[in-house]
Structure 1
Amino acid sequence: MTDKTHLHTSYRAIRIAVNLAIVAVLAVIFILKERFDLANAYERERADTSQAMSGFADAVMARMNRILLVGRGFSGAVALKPEFSQADFARYAATVLSDEEAVVNVAVIRGGVIEFVYPYGDNADLVGADLRAIPEQWAVAEAARESGKSILQGPIPLLQGIDGYILREPLFINAGPATEYWGLMSVVFSAEKFFEGLGISELGASFDMAIRSLDSGAPVAGDPGLFATDALTRRIEVPGAGWELAAIPRGGWQGGAGSRDLFLLFFATAVIVLAIANYLFNQREEALSASEKLQAAVDVLADGFVLFDREDRLVLCNQRYRDIYGASAPAIVPGARFEDILRYGLERGQYKAAQGREEEWLTERLRAHRSAEYVLVQELDDGRWLRVREMATPDGGRVGIRVDITDQVNSRERAEIAEMRLRDAIDAMPASFWLFDPNERLEIENGRAFEAFPQDRARIQPGVTLEEAVRVLAAREWPGATGEETGQRSEHLLRLMRKGASEFEIRVGENQWVKLFSHRTNEGGLVCFGVDISELMLHERWLQQSNTRLRAALKERDVAEGRLADFGDVSSEWFWEQDAERRLTYISPGFERATGVPVEDVVGRMRDDLLIEDVGSDSEGRETISEKVAARERFEGFIYRSNIRAGDETWFRTSGKPVYDAEGRFKGYVGAAADVSQLYAALRVAKRADEAKTQFLNVISHELRTPMTIVLGFNAFLTNIETLPEIRRFRERLEDTGQAALEPDFLAAITQVKRFAEKIQAAGDQLQHLIQDMLDLARIEANTMHIEVARVPARKVVDSLVSQMQPMAKEKGIAIVGDVDEVDIKCDETRLRQILINLISNALKFTDAGTISVRTETGPELVVFHVEDTGVGIPEEALPLIFDRFTQVDISSTRNQGGAGLGLSISKELVALQGGTISATSVEGKGTCVTFTLPRWSEAQVA
């Protein structure tokens, strides 16, 4: 029995059973309906309650995570910079708390004592408070330190007179291979504001809700008695603990209320249902038959077929449609929404174009789906390509066809690849190439088509006729000819090229000739090749002159040999030869004059016997020379230590090249050498002195930075002297003892201390910059400056620096403007900022009126930066020296500005390390422009 026969048999059995069941249903329908209504209403109430709880719990956890990120973010900041000030802390806290209104304050606790707090104004009296004096809070702080995890404490009464919570976040820093406990971050937030915006007030209109702690059972919000009822409960995860949420509809579970009136309505309706049941079954049977026919029709389609109703729910599809979207097959069921089927496929990465932009792709796809009619090409994750066509049906639904066009797409791609390969092959040809179509119009040319006559490229472009191109060549071959003569030559060349196959030579320049080959294509076009034969044509002329040159060369050789002999007699350098076994076979007399060692004591010895391997020297050493000789390679300027003079440190510089006989067999080496002992010894002394100087700069800069950091750290307390506990107590003492008359003197003293502190801060900042410059200089000289090359947006960097330095410019009444292209550069962003800060700072120092501008010019490989000012300018004689270390232009404004003269020197080194150059132009009294270049970012270079 087939599936369709079984279906019809089952359908007839169902029809009989339903007719019989109608009578039985009339007897029990009231009871069933009433129970169904009760159960359905109860389930709806529970589902609505559970959904409301889920939304509220998600909102609580999301807000708790935002507060937790405050502590986690500061943990990362401490790991990067363990030392900071109250101002640093305030700037960081203001940034991360800008959109979190529930937070009352944040504080840093070290050693049990509050060191920093934000906001500072209302919480200043908390600085210096000892947390160990509050046992219940200290216990939580210690638990966070020991566990290394965040712990939430509350709700508890806060010092602000409200109930709230305290999140304790332990902070650690890297200490060698391990981490070290640094301190504690406390985030204090209001319970009332925390739950604001989470919908608890709106939920309270429909539900009774309560929250309690899972660990202690302490109430968090709402009536704790709710947990003793049959309310629904849900767990909410919070740091270091957990909450439990309970909810129940207001007035308890109501369920559904039965209605006996409905029974009468159903009883009356049942009579009608029984009468029309047979009619409906007849209609259903006819619809089933039609559906089977339609399904059979679409199943035989070779393409995917799908039909959606006006509500965009699946009505019908064939097996081919399910096979095409195999990964989404479980979701392709009658009644499924088109959007749900798409989302199912998106979750499994089925649509290749949607990867990484799923929601955006889904919006675009649904917009196209709702249009009247459209066609698109779609790529699936398995590499197949589909042509999707959909259109609206008369009843508002959608019908679609999916055609597999993978073979067509692959064929097109293969054709494009083949064409690209053909063009690459044509461009790679070592000859000029032109292809004319059957209408004798130029269609294709390669890159070498105009090497011999580049000035004619503009006149011979794709689309030009063969006759026009030949006319250009004729004029090139006979530059002084009349128009009539050129026309005759053009006709002659044109006849030659239009033959089935031809070859001829033309002259295209003073000493340039090209040989052209032409051939007809199968389609009637013309292909031409051009080979540069200038060298061949000139070869004959060269041969004619060769005898004269050879005789002159022989004469010059004789003179040169005489000069060489004279040089060998008086020079302190010497020539040497060695055989294939590395045995010295010849040394010129200069060796004995330079070393005092007789030549006969060395000739016949192996070269390796004269070398001493010196690991600590800058010499290439025995192994390098041996490797070069073993590989029979040329070597130049090798310096090595020799034992030729017993008891003396002797250094030789030597160069050599391999020698072969007429049959190409290796014969040995010839070369020259010199005694460089004194020079090399002086070089080593100078290098050690330079290394000592670099090490001194490095050490002294580090040693200066540590006490300077301490000085500036304590000076921060003098800058804000009013916040010191002793000053506050002294002021309170003045008020308590009735000595208010001393208040002006007290304020004057504080003002004077702050003025001195500001001067200390300014001098300290200047000294810190100088120390950092010395450190950078030491790193550059020691070749330890690390350059982290990346893709850097030029405009973003310059805009941020212009904004950062604008306040300093406003103090002097000048403006800083940026005019930078939207271009990416290949450099270290930190070092680029350092270069620009040095140049802009210099411009600020020496500009009292006008404008400082930062602009760029973008080339194919380089980006050029210009930092230009309208300042005092630089004298012409001093301009070449401004990039030298510790150099300053000795003019009055320079002396007033101070500085060590390292900024421009370091900027020059940093530009060079990143593959750029730097220079400056200036007009005294009008201004200066410093220009530097950096490589432009290229994806091709990265690949």
Structure 2
Amino acid sequence: MFVMDIKKRDAATRLKLYARLLKRKRNILTRALALMAMAGLLSALAYRNETLTYESHVQDLKLNTTIEMVEVRERIKNNLISRVFALNELATIIGQNPTLNATEFNIKALDFVLGNPDVKFIEAAPDMVASMVFPKSGNEDVLGTSYRDRPEHLPKVLAALRTGETVMSGPIELSSEDRTLILRTPVFTPAPAGKRNPWGVLSVVLDYDKFFNKLGIAEYEQGFDILIHEDYAGHGQDGDVLLGDGAVLEADPIFLDLNLPFGTWELAATTDGGWPPHLPNYIIRTISYSLVILACVIAFGLVLRLYDKRRESDRLLSVGIEALEHGFVMFDADRRLVAFNKRYKEIAGGSGMVRIGARYEDIVKANLRLGLIPDAVGREEEWYEKWSQRLEIEVTDNEQILADGTFIRAYDRAMDCGAVVGLRIDVSDLKIAQREAEAANRAKTEFMGVLSHELRTPLTIILGHARLAQNIVKMPVYSKLIAEIEKHPEISAEIMPILDEVVTKFATMTRSIENSGNQLYTLISEILDFAKIESGTLAMEFDQTTVPSLVETVVEQMRPMVEHKGLKLEVSAVNCDINVDAKRIQQVLINLIGNATKFTEQGTISVIAKSSPGGVTFEVKDSGIGIPEDQLESVFEAFHQVDSTSSRKHNGTGLGLAISRDIAIAHNGELTAQSVLGQGSTFTMTLPRNAAPQLEDNSDETWKDKEEHQTLAA
């Protein structure tokens, strides 16, 4: 029978273990799926953000390209229009004098050539036969040619005569290194009734390369792919290509219309090589996104793990509450019972009163009616009113006496959320020990209250501004932005004030973060230093240095803070050597000057280092509020505050002076204070010239052992 019971218990145990293992595997699978879903979502968001950023980048490039191409368009347009006007003027002169000879033609053509150095020659073709050319030298083969025999030029010539407008052809390659542009304008002679008779065609042949070099187009071609072509019907390569390669049209270029007197042309352009397929730093951005996603997934995994631990902790808490020997109770924000254990039920009112949903007020008044609270007998209503008022602002604590004479300490505390947590502890044998513990607990509570008050505000500021604090003006993208804006003076005057305002805002945030971070760093450093002092692990590194170097380093560091408050800083330092831990002594001086600045609203702060018999004396004087005489020694006690309330004006943990005195003692010196309330204070640190501990070689004495001889805490 006994063996069977053992087997049953073993089977039940194995079943529980199997169920627990199955539950654990199910939790792991659920967590893995959640992490995969989160990684997918973050990846999609990152891809979408990268796509939008890339599109915005391309749009910016297109805008910049458009701005640059407007300049190119205007240069070409203005140059060609001026050429057409000059050519029409020459054509008008010829039309009014259709019988002019070659000499007269050369005189007229000379002025045109002198004003346009990129002109190769000018040709006059009455009745579409070239009969005059200037300059003639080198162009003799042009004379006598008929456009009727040149089909490659005839359509343009006929178009000019038909429309009466100037036309352009080109570029025409005369050889591998010789390209030309040809402007042709029709020449008409007057006729009766206001009609015009066609005389012929006047043609100007331009050197293609000189024409574009004169316009400065080459400098744009270094950064852009440019196409200028004749456009008969929208965006299409239907006519002559003046500049560039038609492949530009396949790269989604920007388009600008180029309206010229001889037709509609179009300018298309992209950046050199087309628009970039990626952002300039897309590899780094991809790596950054991957790292961020990985960090988020890891963090989410930790949150899930913490959540599981939280659920397990809640279960263990429930078990632990029930296992307590003391009574435990919790009320929600509406002061209704939400949790308790059996011990509390025994102590507070019996089973009929203690139940989930019961009101806190009803339970306490039931205890009053039963006479369980000695201090409230005979004045129950008055006692309850005071108890309720105290509970709103602090912990309530009283003793109860049960029917069997057991002393119970009733401890209730209102939480920030309005809930109330209570303990009912049997203190019959622990009342004396409890009084001692209360004193220690009060000291600890005051310390934690002060520490919490001092750390909360700077920490909140740091967390709120950490992601915004960036030194924008030193970033390459900022310099690039400024350079791009300065290239366009027509918009810089409007944009720069807005940009300066943004930079100023970020600078203000950065200063706020820096100030709060420095404050938080100082507080934490003081706590760590004090912990090292308490544990005997505060290290000292003694070295030979000079008094001026000690003082000047600290003064230069603290001067901005002092002068920012409108105070005057006076410094006087004797020139002599001293063997100390320079960083620790500077820490003391920084603390003393910082305190002097903190508690001084106007006047002067003096830092004086002078020789004393066998040593050096450092004095820090201020004209501040002073210290009451009965607290001059107390200010060197750990955690002591002259004003220790949470609403005090001056912040601090109360550790700075305690640490400073311990550092001075560690140097075989001392730190003292003198003060007159309302007039100022003087803190004096006296150190020997050689403060390093002198240990004999055959001694087993350690630095910590020497603290008894030096009265050190570290």
Q: Do they superpose with TM above 0.5? A: no
TM-score, normalised by the number of residues in structure 2: 0.32
Greater length-normalized contact order (CA 8 Å, ≥ 6 residues apart): 2
- Normalised by the length of structure 1, the TM-score is 0.25
